[in-house]
A and B are shown apart, each in its own frame.
Chain A
Amino acid sequence: MTEEIIIKEAPEQEISINMGPQHPSTHGVLRLVLSLKGEMVQKVEPHCGYIHRGIEKMTESMTYQQIIHLTNRLDYLSAHMNNAAVCLAVEKALDIEVPERVKVIRTIIEELARIASHQLWWCSFGMDLGGLTCFFYGLRDREKILDIFEETTGSRLIQSYNCPGGLMADLHPDFQRKVKEFIVYFRKLLPEYDELLSGNIIMMERSKGIGVMTKEQAISYGMTGPSGRGSGFSCDVRKHHPYHAYDKVKFNEVLRTEGDTYARYMVRIDEMRESMNIIEQLIDNIPAGDFAVKMKPIIKLPEGEYYQRVEAARGEFGIYIISKGEKYPYRMKFRSPNFSNLSALDALTRGHKIADLVAIGGSLDYVIPDIDR
């Protein structure tokens, strides 16, 4: 940890502290400049850009199949959703209808990725609050999902499994059996998460009433995803603009109205249950068929502007393409959910203590490479 202290000459004895780019509880390289009065936080200024890699500029010299491997590395925990956004945009622009099998498989793998992402969030949230065992329980359960991914796609975290027109390869024969085993195993274990952390009096004291965000504030900051749904803002893209096979399955959109850290926490735990429901409805009825549509080797989108949104694990991920009819896009812009969520950190933390800042940051669940792109 490196912290510098700059003592400002202020009659109210306000001091300005750096929670520097390297810190155990800002998940990634994010610099937060805090203004403190004693222990109370007066202002939080996030300075991002430490991991800016110029991805949007790089896409201007790559074909659409090559862009998949770049979008993988934005929010690496929802890698599959980001890939799906690019593929859906290309397929919509070229008016290609993918087989039913592809849609169902994409849905199942996306929901598995969502569960894995929420498991990692739970690990690090528990660890930030001080309950270090939560870290290991979450990771142990996440290993099973990563094994399923590795068997089918070949990689654990960054699976380049989608491609415009379908999937890169068909499912492994063991896929259905392993997913069913995982669901049985995880359904039995999820109540343990509740017993260990959610029901704990210490955790409740540290998160109820902390960092309250009203519904109007959530809408005006553009907080989507589980953080926005914790304040009652109904923003689930899977319900409002369904894609893949989401219109064929029954699931609830988890909403809570309190808007504090505890509400955001419980929204994510309930979302894990909803994801398991979706997978259960689909896993037995994967339609037979092709796993990809035959595409031309060089894809050229017709001239125009295209926008596609998907529900990443952290919010609404949007991709905006301007094409001039060539094989490279003219401009590609990503609407990153973490950027909007992070902008609300200042409003949430005013008047709380430093320990609360850690809890609020954990409940917003930001992944820094997505902010900086």
Chain B
Amino acid sequence: MPFTFSIYDFTGFTQWIDATLRGACSPFWAVLWEMVIVGVLFLAFYAVVGLYLVYAERKVCAFIQNRVGPNRVGPYGFFQTIADLIKLLMKEIISIREADKLLFNLAPFIVIVTSFLALAAIPFAKGLHPIDLNIGVFYVMAISSMGVVGILLAGWSSNSKYSLLGAMRSGAQIISYELSVGMALVTMCVLAGSLQLSVIVEQQRDLWFIFKGHFPAVTAFIIYMIAATAETNRGPFDLAEAESELAAGFHTEYSGIKFAFFFLAEYMNMFIVASLAATVFLGGWMPFHIPGLESFNHVMDFIPPVLWYIGKTAFIILLMMWFKWTFPRLRIDQLLNLEWKFLLPISLVNILIMAFIVLMGWYIGL
């Protein structure tokens, strides 16, 4: 098969790789090599994006606070995170005598593996969709729920009262806010009519969902943003790792590379949540089309879908960082209050309104 590569559609390229591998060796080995290639690419992607999200957070935080941020290690401080990573790798790994060693060592891996798995179902561009499950949204939600297990294990096995307190708080927070995230996503699945992520993206070809389902979609977006920042322990909901209160939370007893794992997993969770929002609300890799203006749509099509995807995810990540550096922290009882008394009832009513709108056909566009 001749070599094809188009930045607008990666299906040609992936089919070329598949055909070459099948031609070169038996189907079993071809599939195995494909899995290895995808695995290595993902590891590299994970590491690079994780590192540069930390750098981006430090720069965004600095500009919001009217100062410069890292600017000495490399041009504009670009290699600052690599220097931090080398420092963390060289730190002494303190092992606790009374701790449960197996669980203590297992917890960071669970957190990293779950965020890694969830990344597999998200469509990055046309043709760059690693696994196209027909229950895509459900799969991502289920895998993110497993992250709680890692946090609770970390708190329990540290054998310290403060870690346990922090882990319990964090666990209660995450499982409460998962409900709201699920409800917000279900609202959009009602509008799309399917749980499959590629179908959801295809349906936003005319107009993105946030404009298409007007009132309930915007409400669902706001609820999703609040619940997603709470679920990833970020922003005004980061009392589990609050620096100015009693303890550093569930990862107090971790040092060196294990702490780096928790830190990295938190940033990648933020990336996953943001890309899910970009896919379901803002159209995934679809360019911005306005139904009826053909020339405008043609201009928008000029920008490759990969850049659209990266831009939308970056916008949502910027929004989440903006939340973190503006607002003070909530107390634990106020946080749970917010979820059970405000977010959940509103999202339930929102689903009803959205279902009604879909049935009556009262959405913008076709």
Contacts and interface: CB of A to CB of B under 8 A. Distances in A.
Interface of A: 1, 3, 5, 17, 19, 24-25, 39, 126-133, 135-137, 140, 196-197, 200, 202-203, 205-206, 353-356, 358
Contact of B161 (A5, A24, A206, A354): A5
B239 interface: yes
Contacts of B238: 130
A131 B331 contact: no
B326 A130 contact: no
Which 9 residue pairs across A and B have the least CB separation, nearest first? A130-B329, A129-B328, A136-B65, A131-B328, A130-B328, A25-B244, A355-B331, A24-B244, A133-B65
Contact of A132 (B239, B247, B325): B325
B244 A353 contact: no
Main secondary structure of the interface of A (DSSP, over half): helix
A136 B333 CA distance: 29
A135 B326 CA distance: 11
A197 B161 CA distance: 33
A131 B247 contact: no
A131 B244 contact: no
A130 B236 contact: yes
A135 B64 CA distance: 12
Interface string B145-166: 0000000000000000110000
Q: At the interface, is chain B mostly helix, strand, loop or mixed?
A: loop
27 contacts: A5-B161, A5-B162, A24-B243, A127-B244, A129-B328, A130-B236, A130-B238, A132-B325, A133-B325, A133-B326, A136-B65, A136-B66, A136-B67, A137-B65, A137-B66, A200-B327, A200-B328, A203-B328, A205-B334, A206-B330, A353-B331, A353-B333, A354-B245, A354-B246, A355-B331, A356-B331, A358-B244
Contacts of A126: 328
Contacts of B242: 130
A136 B67 CA distance: 8
B245 A3 contact: no
A24 B242 CA distance: 11
Interface string B304-346: 0000000000000000000001111111111000000000000
Contact of B245 (A25, A137, A197, A206): A25
A197 B326 CA distance: 9
Contacts of B246: 1, 3, 17, 19, 354
B326 A196 contact: yes
A206 B328 contact: yes
